[in-house]
Amino acid sequence: MTDIRTEDVTYTAGDTTCRGHIAYDAAAGDQRPGVMVVHEWWGLDDYIRGRARGLAELGYTALAVDMYGDGRTAADPEGAGALMNSVLGDMDAGTARFKTAFDVLSGHPTVDANRVAAIGYCFGGAMVLHGARIGLDLKGVVSFHGSLGSFHKPAKGEVKARVLVCHGAADALVSDEEIAGIREEMADADADFRFVAYEGALHGFSNPEATANGEKYGLPLKYDEAVDKRSWDDMKALFSEIF
């Protein structure tokens, strides 16, 4: 018997007020692993809240992270790009927001602070990989159709997390150079790294709204129900190992 509870949480990173969303099973008495969930370029929307709830149903406490501040979301690609680039253009501030969210989740009364992971989608994939690259004390990170470019080249041994990249093999928004780059970077860092490319999958394969958004805005996005399930199962398998 589960009792899934959700709550909005407000926290401050630097001079930015962030508005996250936590989901957990109140019927589970013990402290359990925590999982950060970092949003696509659209911002912290209902899709990401749903992912947090799905993690709570698996027995974790999940924090849907607000990387933009004030819970801002975008209505179109132009707005999404502006919000995303405001973070990518100031990664010191972006790193501070990510680290603060990590602290907020680690400090939640239901969470075992020694067992925290992070997953991210699109832009969020880039952020959780960044968290691994800078050596944050994460047990694992999972990127779903995320950007793979690097803002920090880790030294050997710096990556503490096990890293899983769930990539659409037909993703036109991620270059071969980016793929080669992260493979080389993770090898040089001696990281525990796994790269899974799902045949035929495009960018956004995990989001049921991706196909409609792709058609509406002329972007190479497409939902793939089978790959959505496979990648989620791959994440669950990793978590069962690290936790």
Which region holds residue 180: left if phi is over 0, alpha if psi is between -120 and 50, else beta?
A: alpha
Q: What is the pLDDT of residues 158-192, one digit of tens each?
A: 999 999 999 999 999 999 999 999 999 999 999 99
Return d(Cα 41, Cα 39) in angstroms, integer.
Answer: 7
Domain positions in the chain: 4-242
Structure tokens at 158: 């710096």
Return d(Cα 202, Cα 169) in angstroms, integer.
Answer: 7
Amino acid letter, 79: G
Rg (CA), the chain: 17
Assess contact for 127 and 38: CB atoms under 8 A: yes
Q: What is the pTM of this model?
A: 0.97
Return d(Cα 71, Cα 46) in angstroms, integer.
Answer: 12
Residue % of the chain over a pLDDT of 70: 100
Q: What is the mean pLDDT of the chain?
A: 97
Q: 208: pLDDT confidence band, cut at 50, 70 and 90?
A: very high
Return d(Cα 88, Cα 150) in angstroms, integer.
Answer: 11
Mean pLDDT of the 20-37 span: 96
pLDDT at 29: 83
Superfamily of domain 4-242: Alpha/Beta hydrolase fold, catalytic domain (3.40.50.1820)
